[in-house]
Amino acid sequence: MAAARRYLRAQWILLRGRREFWLLVIAIPSTSAFLYLSGAIAHAQPLDSSLDWPPEFVTMHQLARERDAFPQSVLSLLDSAAWVAWASAVLGALLVGSEFGWATIRTTLVTAGRLEGFFLAKVTSVLVIAAVLLAALVTLGSVLPAVAAVIGVAMVTASPVDWVGAAAYAGAWFVSAAVFGAIGLAFGTLSRSPVLGLIVTLVYITGENIVAQLPMWAPTGRPEGLVLLLPVQSTIQLVRHAATLAGRVDLGAALPEAPPFGVTSSSLLVPFAWVIGLVTVAVVVGARRDIAE
C-alpha cells in the first residue's frame, strides 16, 4: 500500500509538469459546460410559430429542451464523456511510451525491479484522471441547469432518470476510457515512442470507427458480428446500453425511421476483456524486454 502511494505520488509529479495533462483536464469540463449553456440558450428560443415546422422537428426541439433540464442534464453532460475516452487514449500513449525513449528512467526502473509497478501506477493514474473528469461532468450536469435558470433560460420539466442506470452510464464511460487508455498504453509500449504510439492510437481508433460505418453493414446501419468484438465498437455498445438503462432522452427517437438499438448481453463483457488483455500485454512486454543496443 505504501509502495502504491509512492508510485502514485511520483505519477502526480510527472502529470503536473505536463501541459497535455492540464490542457485536457481544463478543456474537457470547460468546453462541455460552454456547449451545454450555449445549447440551452439556443433551445430555449421558441420556434417561430408563423412557419410550418415538420412535426419531427418540433418533437426534437422539445426533447432537446428536456435534455437540458435536470435530471436529464446529468446524462446530457455525460454524453461529452467521449472526450474523456479520447483523453485517456492520449495520456495512455504519452505517459507510458515515454519510458522507453528516456533511457535513464528505464534503466533505473529495471535495476530497481520496479517497472511493472510503475506501469501499473501509470494505468491507475490514467483511470483516476478519467474518473475525476467523469465526476466533473456529473457535477456540471447537476449544477448547470440552475446556472442556466439564473441567466434567464426557461427550463421545462424533464423525464425522470433511473439513477442506478445513470451510475451504470457513468460506469460505462469509465470502462470506455479504460479501453481507450489501454489502447494508447499498448501502442505506446509496443512502438517504444510516445509520439508514434499516440499517432498509431489515434489512427487505430479512427480507423475502427470508419470500418464500423462502412455501407456493408446495411440494411441495419449498425455493425454486426465480429466487428462488435473490436475494442472501440464494444465500448460503444456498452455505453449505448447503459444510456438506455438510465432513461436518457434520445433525440433520434423522434425520427420515425430510427433503427431499434439492440445489444447482446455477452458483448457487454468484451470491453473488460480488452482492458485486461491490452494492459497485460503492455506491462509484460514493456517490463520484460531488454534495452535495445
Partner 1 sequence: MSTDAVPAVQTVGVSRRFGPVQAIDQIGLTVPSGVVYGFLGPNGAGKTTTLRILTALLRPDTGSVRLFGEPVQRGAAVLRRIGAAIERPAFYPYLSGRANLEVFGLVGAFRYRDPRAIDAVIDRVGLREAASRPFGTYSTGMKQRLAIGLAILGEPALVILDEPTSGLDPEGIVAVRELVQELQAQGATVVLSSHQLGEVERVCSWVGVVVRGRLIAQGAVDELLGQPETRLELASKADRERARELLAGAGASPADRPSGADEGTSLVLRSGATNHAVARLLADHGIYPTELAVRRRSLESLFLELTSAVRSGTGGGTG
**Interface contacts to partner 1, rule CB under 8 A:** 6-7, 9-10, 13-14, 17-19, 98, 101-114, 117-118, 121, 290-291, 293
Minimum gap (Å) between residue 120 Cβ and partner 1:
11
Minimum gap (Å) between residue 290 Cβ and partner 1:
6
By C-beta, is 130 or 287 nearer to partner 1?
Answer: 287
Where helices occur in 192-258 by DSSP H, the ranges are 194-212, 231-246
Minimum gap (Å) between residue 292 Cβ and partner 1:
10
By C-beta, is 109 or 249 nearer to partner 1?
Answer: 109
By C-beta, is 45 or 108 nearer to partner 1?
Answer: 108
By C-beta, is 50 or 104 nearer to partner 1?
Answer: 104
By C-beta, is 116 or 162 nearer to partner 1?
Answer: 116
Secondary structure of the chain: what % helix, strand, coil (to 5)?
80, 0, 20
Rounded Cα distance between 120 and 239, Å, is 25
Minimum gap (Å) between residue 22 Cβ and partner 1:
12
At residue 151, the 3 state secondary structure works out as: coil
Whether the CB-CB separation of 109 and 71 falls below 8 Å is answered with no
How many CB atoms neighbour CB 264 within 10 A?
10
Minimum gap (Å) between residue 187 Cβ and partner 1:
20
Whether the CB-CB separation of 142 and 70 falls below 8 Å is answered with yes
Rounded Cα distance between 37 and 164, Å, is 26
